[in-house]
Amino acid sequence: MRPTVHDIAAEAGVSLATVDRVLNARPGVRRKTVDKVQAAVERLGYVRDVSAANLAKKRTYPLVFILPEGPNSFMRGLEAEIRAAMQRSPVERTAIRIETVPPFDPAAIVGVLDSLDPAEVNGVALVATDTPDVSAAVDRLVDRGVHVATLVSDLPGSQRIHFCGIDNLAAGRTAGGLIGRFCNGRAGKVLVVAGSMKLSDHMDRASGFAAVLRSEFPDLEIVGPVETNDDADTVRQAVTAALDAETEIIAIYSLGAGTRGLIEALPDREQRKLAVVAHEVTEHSRQALAEGLFDAVINQDCGHEVRSAIRVLKARADGLMPISAQERIRIDIFLKDNLP
């Protein structure tokens, strides 16, 4: 039988209230009493029953998600998952609010971050641009006692407690390995299309990709990365222009969004055979895979990311450590053959 506060109280020779004060690090207890209680906790191996505590406190976890607005399918999918989590709020004791900001706008993110009231918010998960001002705003919020987790794209220099997303360096390496093998010995150029180098996920993917090509497939030369701000029309124009200009392009790695534009720019399979790898399963990329326009799509499960963010933020609010393996977001690789 697991020990309870009663057992601790008896063991330490004090009352329940005193045990509670010590356990919750509240003031008004003599140093010696604190030691006695802590010794009893150690001795009996006490672990607090979080659900009983939450019941007594009628606790809810007020959480805020910050993500970019706009037509980006992936971000809208992410938002849908957050809304699904809001549906479960009564059961999970969460109170989730969504704040959307213009994409690629660090100042807007900073504005939201600074407007948050630590008294009303327990944790924040955000999709951030990796810029110094956002990093600083995150640190300010953490200093004010709010736990912050990054979502999808990390903020490596900041005080965020956790990154809920894939290892984007490994994702880029994977793309490199796939494209290298799909080209299978042919020499030529590979066009790399990115959204914005202000995003650390795009940065990481680009460098992982370049590293693998350099070390394993030296016959493939990178063109780009071209920046498109994840805008479909820009992607279409950029890809069309590049394919016209460079006839030696035999593969494309699209590491950002705007996938619809990429599809529109792709020439007939018969005319010109290109190995194509893109990111995120959306309506568009799914169809492109099925039609054989794309060879592979690298995906991150945004449902998992959202649930993970909630678990991590809640655990942290309770001062617990989450199961780390459970929070590792996998790099999914989809071919037309294993599309879910």
Task: List residues near DNA by CB under 7 A.
Answer: 1-2, 4-6, 13-18, 20-21, 23-24, 27-30, 32-33, 46, 48-49, 52-53, 55-58
Q: Could you tell me the sign of the dihedral formed by the alpha carbons of 176, 182, 184, 189, in that order?
A: negative
Of the candidates 232, 239, 281, the one whose C-alpha atom is nearest the C-alpha of residue 259 is 232
Both tokens assigned to 46: 């006490």
Interface region with a second copy, contact rule CB under 8 A, candidates 113-121, 226-234, 263-271, 325-333 = 325-333
Shorter beta-carbon distance to DNA: residue 57 or 184: 57
CA distance 338 to 313: 33
Question: By CB under 8 A, is residue 44 in contact with a second copy?
Answer: no
With 0-12 CB in 10 A as exposed, 13-18 as middle and 19+ as buried, what is 317? Answer: middle
Q: In what order do the strands lie in the sheet with 162-164?
A: 94-101, 61-68, 123-126, 147-151, 162-164
Q: Which of 6, 26, 88, 272 binds a second copy (CB under 8 A)?
A: 88
Both tokens assigned to 259: 């996938």
Torsion on CA atoms 173, 211, 276, 126, rounded to nearest 10: 60
CA distance 325 to 69: 31
The residue type of 250 is I
Q: Which of 162, 173, 236, 260 binds a second copy (CB under 8 A)?
A: 173
In the block, which residue shows the tokens 């029309």? 233
Question: By CB under 8 A, is residue 338 in contact with a second copy?
Answer: yes
User: Least distance in Å: CB of 236 to DNA?
Assistant: 55
User: Least distance in Å: CB of 117 to DNA?
Assistant: 19
CA 222 to chain centroid: 27
For 323, other C-beta atoms within 10 Å of its C-beta total 9
Q: Which residues pair with 101 in a beta bridge?
A: 68
Residue 115 contact among a second copy, DNA, none, beta carbon within 5 to 8 Å by kind: none
Q: Which of 171, 232, 251, 313 binds a second copy (CB under 8 A)?
A: 171
Of the candidates 284, 274, 293, the one whose C-alpha atom is nearest the C-alpha of residue 335 is 293
Q: What is the DSSP string of 256-296?
A: SS-HHHHHHHPPPTTTS--EEEEES--HHHHHHHHTTS-SE
User: Least distance in Å: CB of 143 to DNA?
Assistant: 24
CA distance 265 to 236: 5
User: Least distance in Å: CB of 162 to a second copy?
Assistant: 17
Q: Which of 25, 91, 245, 321 binds a second copy (CB under 8 A)?
A: 91
Shorter beta-carbon distance to DNA: residue 1 or 245: 1
Shorter beta-carbon distance to DNA: residue 6 or 186: 6
Both tokens assigned to 108: 């807007």
Shorter beta-carbon distance to DNA: residue 6 or 83: 6
Residue 30 contact among a second copy, DNA, none, beta carbon within 5 to 8 Å by kind: DNA
Of the candidates 181, 203, 183, the one whose C-alpha atom is nearest the C-alpha of residue 192 is 203
Shorter beta-carbon distance to a second copy: residue 15 or 51: 51
Q: Which of 10, 170, 226, 317 binds a second copy (CB under 8 A)?
A: 170
User: Least distance in Å: CB of 93 to DNA?
Assistant: 11
Q: Which of 11, 130, 295, 305 binds a second copy (CB under 8 A)?
A: 295
Question: By CB under 8 A, is residue 197 in contact with a second copy?
Answer: no
For 329, other C-beta atoms within 10 Å of its C-beta total 17
Interface region with a second copy, contact rule CB under 8 A, candidates 12-20, 25-33, 88-96, 122-130 = 88-96
Q: Which residues bind a second copy (CB under 8 A)?
A: 2, 47, 49-52, 54-55, 88, 90-91, 167, 170-171, 173-174, 176-178, 181-182, 184, 208, 212, 295, 301, 303-304, 307, 323, 325-326, 328, 330-333, 335-338, 340
